[in-house]
Amino acid sequence: MVTKRERPGTGQADEGAKEEVERSLDDPALYLNREISWLKFNRRVLEETEGGLHPLLEKVKFLAICGSNLDEFFMARVPGLYRQAEKGALEPPPDGMNPQTQLDLIKEEVDRLNGEYAEVWDGRMVPALAAAGVHIHGMDDITDGQRAKLRAYFEQDLFPILTPMAIDAAHPFPFISGLAINIAAVVKDASGRERMARIKVPSGLFPRLVCIDGERATSGEEMHLVFLEDLVMDNLDLLFTGMEVMSAHPFRVTRDAEIEIELDETSDLLTAVEEGLESRRIGVATRLEVSDRMPDRIVSFLASKLDLPPDLVYRTSAPLGLVDLWELHGIKRPDLLDTPFLPYVPKALANEEIILDSVCHRDAVLYHPYDSFQPVVGMIKRAAVDPDVLAIKITLYRVDRQSSIVEALMEARRHGKVVAAVLELKAKFDETNNILWARQMEQAGIHVVYGPVDIKVHAKMCLIVRRGRSGLTRICHLSSGNYNSQTARTYGDLGYITCERDLAADVSDLFNALTGYGHREVYRRLLVSPHGIRKGMEERIEREIQRHRENGDGYMAFKLNALVDKGIIKSLYRASMAGVRIELNVRGLCCLRPGVPGVSENITVTSIVGRFLEHARIYYFRNGGDEEMLLGSSDMMPRNLDRRVETLFPVQDARVREAIKRDILDVHLKDTAKAKRLLADGTYEKVVPEGGEKPLSSQDWLLAHRGEWHG
């Protein structure tokens, strides 16, 4: 792949050799496919259901996450590939794979995953749940008394709202909503003629898993459940009176979730997004899921009506809509769930009354969920009523449905503060919630800004302007995670609080650029995308190469969610070829191939999936002993670097920087219990402790030692 390398230790190579290296690093064989990497991540999520890794209902949760992830994949990624296959791709991905080849590989991989989902559910989870007293029944294995109870429930609660829809010459094929469970029923009339009908299962209005005994059981009691669609199919005779029900089979359709935003001179972005959401409801079908028992003729009929090719039809013996298994996670069985814990509250941030004074004395880091999110909420709540606070500015991407932070912002307006919120209306699948909050905040007098039409604001930052004895102080909170109290309980995110003047000035300038027309290419401390983060990262990687040539101790360690960008990967390859040691902890997508001789043999890549979603971004450069660490919102993906407003910021406080490296970054890199190592062929293998050492689970260690990184 690489035919000529620079001479070790000198970095001297003629221009022809450099050009040859650059061409070699464009070799598609050096890059893993993005879509297949995503599906490999879903397999790692599925592996969390194995053995004794988690309590039983937590394993069910991971299977539900698998279903949710795959839904989003077919709503967001597959439609784009099909458009490229039909119209031609603008440019091939780094791996050089054309759209149709990718779709063929996706079909193979998803078919395998569906088989594994079914095996996990039917072969392991259903028996284990039954042994724990949570029985998932088919309609054929319940007693006559139980069936009578369910029929009475069906007649009283379900029957009045069900609408069977005939499909024939007089009744056109009905519109099938995305992600809804449907039933295709074949019935025979008195003349012996077979007809087809569709029934939509109202799983959004009723629990997907119906408790035979009525109310859900309390802890320790036996619970007997059936799937809602099974209950409906067992009582179709009440819907088709005078007809003989020949067969019934569930199916589910996924639709393209991309929304079209069209702005004209008379509309605003909020209205345009609202109108665009309607296009999502009727988006083109991108997947048909059917029961493995559905006859081929019915499958072909449904696929033709939905205009779906065979490679977008998936048969499975697992329940359709695995995401609904989240319901089981909510039953009252604490013995089958993770042990609760109390997040740590640093002493300096514990007293809400003086928190604004405390954060100005020294920088503070919070690592959620090990550290409580309450200090962040408390800081904004205190700022809302503090007479010395003049203004609060914040970016909002994904917001709680009941947000104490937004309530605090509205309280700040009632106290006469200047409040500005940069709200991202285009946050996928959160658009409706964000629109509701936008209207409430506008009514409260908050300056709500939606950001550019063609770019998302993904940066996570809050600025509090406060009057003090020596003038104005700007308090900054910068984070990798959203201002969302719910996700802060399960997402591993780093938040940083500082009053450092240059960084605070940068944050202020960036807010002015977002709310007005200002623009800066270069900031004092911040790296800001579009473009600024790419340039800053590439410069730092090149600097590490040069420092390695001088000192021989080049080292970089990154923790992030996704590494996809070809330019960044090429820079890392060049660093590896120069001898720089690189450790990467990439939770999800990774298109870099580690361990390729002559190219990436100095790079290792691990991934951790566990109780908490690894969501923090940490970029560490040894820099010849003058260490630098960047935190922030950006992954190394083209969308983050070129098509979003993102921030990375340096950890200026050496004490905090060392604590993050020692107690957070290094701990994750040393994980030998949950970590999986990426191999050059794109597969992952379990990391095994060396020399008989006890396996180290980074998440368990952080739970046991939470608070230590605060000094």
Which residues form the catalytic set?
458
The secondary element (H helix, E strand) that includes residue 476 is strand 471-479
DSSP 446: -
- Distance, CA of 96 to CA of 28 (rounded, Å): 5
Query: Strand, coil or helix: what is 243?
Result: coil
Q: How many residues does the chain have?
A: 711
Half-sphere exposure of 320 (CA within 13 A, CB side): 28
- Residue 350 Rama label (left phi>0; alpha psi -120 to 50; beta): alpha
Strand duo 418-423 + 447-449: pairing: parallel
Which residues make beta-bridge pairs with 592?
A: 31
Single out the residue of 278, 549, 556 nearest to residue 431, CA to CA: 278
Residue 486 has phi, psi (to 5 degrees) of -75, -50
Rounded to an integer, what distance in angstroms lies between the CA atom of residue 314 and that of residue 117?
A: 13
CA angle 151, 153, 157 (to 5 degrees): 125
Could you say which DSSP state residue 282 is in? Answer: T
Distances (CA, A) of 31 to 417, 563, 617, 680, 693: 51, 11, 22, 9, 34
Whole-angstrom CA distances from 493 to 36, 222, 403 are 26, 38, 18
**Opening angle at CA 371, ends 370 and 375, nearest 5:** 160
Neighbour-count burial of 21, counting CB atoms closer than 10 A to its CB (0-12 exposed, 13-18 middle, 19+ buried): buried
